[in-house]
Structure 1
Amino acid sequence: MPKKSLVALAGALAAATLLAGCGGDANAGAGGPKLALDAALPTEVPDGVKIVVGDPTTEKALKLSGQLGKVDKFVQFANLSGGPQTTEAFRAKALDVGSVAEIPPIHATWTGLQVKIVASKFRQDALNHPIYELGIAPGVQVKTLPDLKGKKVAFSPGQAQGALVLKVLKKAGLTKEDVKLVELPSTGDVYSSALSAKQVDVAPIGGVQIKRYLSKYGKDGAATIRHGIRDDAGHLYVATESLEDAGKAAAIRAYVAAWGVAQDWTDKHPKEWIDGYYVKDQGLTAADGQWLVDNAGHPDISGDWSAAIERQQETIELLAQETGNDVIQAKDLYDLRFQSVAPDAIKAAGAGAAK
């Protein structure tokens, strides 16, 4: 069996295993009235409707904020997130909503899946609060982006880190032929380990891995540099067929509203979020949690997606050029009926709290 087929099969089996453990079944609660994709979103969730959501971070935020009761009647959470897992779960018809970065909706579409983005979150002052920095292996001299020429660079096709590498090369005036791309999965601390072992010279690392990498290997000459590119997109995307079920569409709308309130709550309650999520749920130290909160800045959940769509189109055109896929239209990936759902919910929650 070809290597790519084996990888796809492994991803599908992993997703299926995770969903089986969570009892996820996106067919449960289906069968509601047909809804056109340009029809107004229904606002009442019928009894018996269920949607399966892969968004474990928001699940915790809803619990900590006391908001879970608003959606738990119709939301079943699956403990999965990220592009490969959610794409395979969509393909298996075992998921309705996934939480991902910028790239998975693009690649899902290229593989024949029909998906739509229904919520988007960015970071205020995004260039000063990047998700990723370029980790530099001990002893490797990379001070600026053009210094990447001739270096071994970790690369994960189809994921945010892989797209970032391509964007960085373009910004530096380099091509893939100017570096050696080393394909590695970007999960966990794989990239940090590859850097420390000098398997690669450069790798995009994010979150607390930045802090830990520098703390552990900085004395040996390890470093990170900023790439100066926006990498802050975070989306909820859904299987289009779920939006064509009126009951599920109403449930997805309600979940997006709760999602928005949860993002706002974590921003306004950093101490509770650090203790309840980073420390008690993720097993990090309070110092690591504080570092993550400080470096993330504040969320930007806008009711106008036009700038996001423009940036997404630039990404699509770059990836299409590098991968040989057809250029698709970013605007077709977004369901604009949801554009104001999350920000309106945040405003309503704030107005209610002020009374």
Structure 2
Amino acid sequence: MSASPRLRPALAVLLLAALTACAAQEKPKAVLAADAPLPASVPEGTKLIVGDPPTKVALQLSGEIDKFSFDIEWANLSGGPQTSEAFRADALDVGAVAEIPAIHANWTGLPVKIVASKFRKDPLDHPTYELGVAPGVPVKTLADLRGKKIAYSPGQAQGALVLKVLKRAGLTKQDVTLVELPSTGDIYPNALASRQVDVAPIGGVNIKRYLGKFGRDGATTLRHGLRDDPGHLYVRTVTLQDPAKAAAIREYAAAWARATRWVYEHPKEWIEGYYVKDQGLTAEDGKYLVDLAGEPDIPADWSEAITRNQETIDILAAETGKPKLAAKDLYDLRFQAVGADAIKGGAR
């Protein structure tokens, strides 16, 4: 039964008063300012969703996976495209990637921040990628790339590396043919073997397998002589506004650094536990990958890394027409020393 016309104004006033009272009782959610110190402790009930499969295994092998003061839900995903998609769906808090995804995310309207960084102690002796050369293609130096078909993956580390290599060789995109291909799995080695492309950046065990399988047919690889070693944890900027999650991310970044060091110091356990049991590779392939990676470097000062990142941004912006970004704006410097301190035992 509806209220009479005389009662409707009074009921409206009462309803408004009730809603106002409820709103007054609700506490506004705390927002952590971008320049506020990181909270030292993680509140009970905090949870992170983390997409960092190798670190999960390293933490399991080292016995540290159950020592967090918060709950972790592990997401079995990696790489920039998957991570950004999960960020946009509000289904991920922390992602583990190389150099390009944080840049590309900000270009596509997804504000993110880097909260942890690692590199390689001898990056030129331990490159992440080499240039795979198709059987019979005469590429002995970077200058020989002129006129060649080169696999290119925009928004990923391999794509940025191609642009950097061209610049180092004194070439432009107009001097080659860029063939857009995703860089996942065996796509690049197969594209080389079938002569779909002449050159493609290949990494990890694909370098060894490509030469082992097609070397007899004339397949080769070429080292590019550039740094390609960054590894980062990054998160959405909005996530860092939550004090509880910011504290948990700090704790995770410390554990991630310890796990990185543990992997280097326990190669046999890592080969068996990750490469063989988790990834299904042979022990021989695992040893190859451990030797290829070399010793990690987790600096307490990101200044040099930011300078190198700016160079990457400038190259990408010039070649793709994207607006220039300030590299320093991609990093949350509150986390700068967390990893290095963790390795020294100064962080939990």
User: TM-score scaled by structure 1?
Assistant: 0.89
Contact 2:42 2:70 in 1 (8 A): no
> Equivalences for 1:148-167 in 2 at 5 Å?
148-167=145-164
- Aligned residue for 2:119, secondary structure, equals strand
1:142 to 126, 139, 143: 139
Contact 2:115 2:253 in 1 (8 A): yes
2:208 maps to 1:215:
no
**What letter corresponds to residue 220 of structure 1 in structure 2?**
D
2: CA distance, partners of 1:32 / 1:63: 34
Where structure 2 has 5 or more consecutive residues not aligned to the other structure, the ranges are 1-27
> Equivalences for 1:128-139 in 2 at 5 Å?
128-139=125-136
Contact 2:48 2:245 in 1 (8 A): yes
2: CA distance, partners of 1:334 / 1:39: 15
> Equivalences for 1:59-208 in 2 at 5 Å?
59-71=56-68, 73-208=70-205
- Aligned residue for 2:124, secondary structure, equals helix
1:330 to 306, 327, 330: 327
- Aligned residue for 1:348, secondary structure, equals coil
- Aligned residue for 2:344, secondary structure, equals helix
Q: CA RMSD in A?
A: 1.3
Where structure 1 has 5 or more consecutive residues not aligned to the other structure, the ranges are 1-30
1: CA distance, partners of 2:30 / 2:73: 21
2:272 to 264, 275, 279: 275
Instruction: Compute the displacement of 1:51 (Å).
Output: 1.1
2: CA distance, partners of 1:63 / 1:72: 16
Instruction: Compute the displacement of 1:94 (Å).
Output: 1.1
Instruction: Compute the displacement of 1:71 (Å).
Output: 2.4
1: CA distance, partners of 2:47 / 2:113: 19
Match of 1:260 in 2: 257
2: CA distance, partners of 1:33 / 1:213: 53
1:241 to 221, 225, 238: 238
Q: Write the deviation string for residues 64-104 of structure 1: whole angstroms up to 9, x where unpaired.
A: 00010122742211001110001111111111110000000
Instruction: Compute the displacement of 1:32 (Å).
Output: 5.9
Match of 2:10 in 1: none
Instruction: Compute the displacement of 1:295 (Å).
Output: 1.0
Contact 1:43 1:254 in 2 (8 A): no
**What letter corresponds to residue 260 of structure 2 in structure 1?**
Q
Match of 2:6 in 1: none
Q: Percent identity among equivalent residues?
A: 69
Match of 1:27 in 2: none
Instruction: Compute the displacement of 1:323 (Å).
Output: 1.0
User: TM-score scaled by structure 2?
Assistant: 0.91
Instruction: Compute the displacement of 1:230 (Å).
Output: 0.2
Larger radius of gyration: 2
**What letter corresponds to residue 126 of structure 2 in structure 1?**
H
2: CA distance, partners of 1:349 / 1:245: 24
**What letter corresponds to residue 52 of structure 2 in structure 1?**
D
2:343 maps to 1:346:
yes
How many residues get paired?
321
2: CA distance, partners of 1:321 / 1:100: 23
Q: Write the deviation string for residues 164-208 of structure 1: whole angstroms up to 9, x where unpaired.
A: 000000000000010011000000010000000110000000000
2:298 to 277, 284, 301: 301
